[in-house]
Amino acid sequence: MSDAGDKNMAKKVTTVFFCQECGYETSKWMGQCPGCKQWNTLVEEKVSVTGSGMGGSAKTIAHKDAPKPVEISSISMEESDRISTKIEELDRVLGGGIIQGSLTLVGGDPGIVKSTLLLQVCRNLSGSGHKVLYISGEESLKQIKLRANRIGEFKENMLLLCETNLGLIEEAIKRTAPEVVIIDSIQTMYQEEVSSAPGSVSQVREATNVFMQLAKGLGISIFIVGHVTKEGTVAGPRVLEHMVDTVLYFEGDRHASYRILRGVKNRFGSTNEIGVFEMRKEGLVEVANPSEFMLNGKPIGASGSVVVCSVEGTRPILIEIQALVCRTNFGIPRRQTTGTDFNRVNLLMAVLEKRAGMQIGDCDAYVNIAGGMKINEPALDLGIILAIVSSFKNRPIDEKTICFGEVGLSGEVRAVSQAEQRVLEAKKLGYETVVLPKVSMEGLEPVQGIRMIGISGIGEAIDLI
């Protein structure tokens, strides 16, 4: 048999069905994905498989240039190896700066200025002497330049490339040897060897794998922009988030002036760290004091409003919880939440009825986290309880009081972490009274100018109103 015949036999094209939501792979079509239980998400794609015998595998493994294991003590790692983006809020979320050879995924809704933030990073890095390559598959060079003019002046170390072919992009990266690469976006990239369309599960997975090899092999820091689905997760297979080192999500209303950048995965720093930005005509501007920013416009003397201290990553933030409780005009009362878990609010209202004897089962209840943040920390429980009680009894809570604590099903107030940092944050913004779990006061040093009230149950908290 000829060599051409051998090659044709070695290369086999098969049909595989991929789930567009989670990346589950199966050989036959099914109405419901066994992985994520979603309906009608499996799509058909052709995959080329190259077969090789055991002899070929053995030769590859026994190659003389195969990498050798090294001792961990011989590997040096210093904090100076990080590259600062000159944006403190972004550096905080990244864990102190950009790690050499890292792969970072940035996700968010359309129009929430993912590309604007990365352009600002490019401007700061190129101005510091770092070579940056910005690769766009969605905009032309003139469109990128037009957007860059609103941010400021760029140095000569900033390079632009408009391309979607992975082979050409890989060659350009190796030829220019930049320190940082921006890919905007991963859903537009395609590999010629993969027969499916750009943005499909196979193409996204293959593109991410190529960029991961480039980042680790050449020591280049790569940022990937990813589109999100209607559920708010990055479009493509879930394996995409497992392959990268860091996953950053933009939160907030695209029509509002603020933006919140949250780190949901970080191999080099704290997870769930957040950075707060304000959108202006010149780009994103850091918000140095998020607590003061979130409390801006808080009503004075209004019932159903209480300030709670939440901890996001390593940062304590004061936020306002608003509640509105009123008698319902329908047979079934309406419940609605914004910024926190709906089921958690229903649970806390049931605790109030059972443990505090409050008849609120026939009331409409609306709970809102002011400022647009999404927080599900258990420390908000006590604040939600007090806001609901304050609105139900129409009694305002003292303006100089904050609270935090987890509430159990028996009505007990349980301890939360980092109580000292929460109290110090309250003092920094001029608050005078802190209502906290009694067990959290053990070992807590007195803070000058702050009156700490320890409670063990929701009955004691309600008596304070």
Q: What digits encode the pLDDT tens for the residues 355-376?
A: 999 999 899 999 999 877 888 8
Residue 234 CA to residue 203 CA, distance in Å, equals: 14
Query: CA-to-CA distance for 38 and 22, rounded, in angstroms?
Result: 9
Bridge partners of residue 338, in order along the sequence: 368
Mean pLDDT of 178-187: 93
CATH of domain 82-288: 3.40.50.300
Instruction: Return the pLDDT at 12.
Output: 63
CA 282/CA 110 separation, integer angstroms: 19
pLDDT beyond 70 at 231: no
Res 55: pLDDT: 43
**Over the stretch 47-69, which tens digit does the pLDDT of each residue have?**
665 544 444 444 444 555 667 88
Whether the predicted pLDDT of 352 surpasses 60: yes
pLDDT of residue 74: 82
Class for the domain spanning 293-463? alpha beta
The full set of domain ranges for the chain reads 3-53, 82-288, 293-463
Q: How confident is the model at residue 254 (pLDDT cuts 50, 70, 90)?
A: low
pLDDT at 73: 83
The overall pTM is greater than 0.75: yes
Q: What's the confidence (pLDDT) of residue 255?
A: 67
In tens, the pLDDT along 259-279 reads 889 998 999 888 878 898 988
Q: What pLDDT is recorded for position 84?
A: 92
The pLDDT assigned to 150 comes to 85
The 3-state secondary structure of the chain reads: CCHHHHHHHHEEEEEEEEECCCCCEECCCCCECCCCCCECCEEEEEEEEECCCHHHHHHHHCCCCCCCCCCHHHCCCCHHHCECCCCHHHHHHHCCCECCCCEEEEECCCCCCHHHHHHHHHHHHHHCCCCEEEEECCCCHHHHHHHHHHHCCCCCCEEEEECCEHHHHHHHHHHHCCCEEEEECHHHCECCCCCCCCCCHHHHHHHHHHHHHHHHHHCCEEEEEECECCCCCECCCCHHHHHCCEEEEEECCCCCCEEEEEEEEECCCCCCCEEEEEEECCEEEECCCHHHHHCCCCCCCCCCEEEEEEEECCEEEEEEEEEEEEECCCCCCCEEEECCCHHHHHHHHHHHHHHHCCCCCCEEEEEEECCCCCCCCHHHHHHHHHHHHHHHHCCCCCCCEEECCEECCCCEEECCCCHHHHHHHHHHCCCCEEEEEHHHHCCCCCCCCCEEEEECEHHHHHHCC
